[in-house]
Amino acid sequence: MTTINSSVCKGGSILVFACSGAADVGAVADQAAREMSRNGVGSMFCMGGIGGRVEPIMKKTAAADRILAIDGCPLNCVKATLEQAGFTSFEHLQLADLGMDKGSTPASSENIRKAAEAGAALLQI
């Protein structure tokens, strides 16, 4: 029997899902979500749990007040995964809209900060 540590799935009323892909923009998206979480803007949450339809993660996401999806590249994997799981009411940040292009955007503190600030603005925080 598998037990779930409830603190791992705690989340919050504002959930942030991010691309964590292999490309540089995936790293920026991931680190921006982590920065937002550290700054109390929202709680970074488990994209893999949405893809796997893990029940406690699905329930917590359904109960969220606000959701932000951060995609690194125009493939929009985070947005598509949320939509395929039945979530349609969320804000979406596409890093290409900030001028961050796959293959030429290092995961620098400046790019991470810029993405985190854009995410917070979408959430109006």
- For residues 70 and 21, give the distance between their C-alpha atoms in angstroms, rounded to a whole number: 11
Q: Is residue 19 part of a domain?
A: yes
Give CA 100 to chain center in angstroms. Answer: 16
- Whole-structure pTM value: 0.90
The domain tally of the chain equals: 1
The predicted-structure confidence for 14-65, as pLDDT tens digits, reads as follows 999 999 989 999 999 999 999 999 999 999 999 999 999 999 999 999 999 9
Q: Is residue 21 part of a domain?
A: yes
Helix, strand, coil percent values for the chain (each to nearest 5): 45, 15, 40
Q: Is residue 22 part of a domain?
A: yes
The predicted-structure confidence for 70-110, as pLDDT tens digits, reads as follows 999 999 999 999 999 999 999 999 999 999 999 999 999 99
Q: Is residue 4 part of a domain?
A: no
What range defines the domain where residue 60 resides? Answer: 14-122
Q: Is residue 6 part of a domain?
A: no
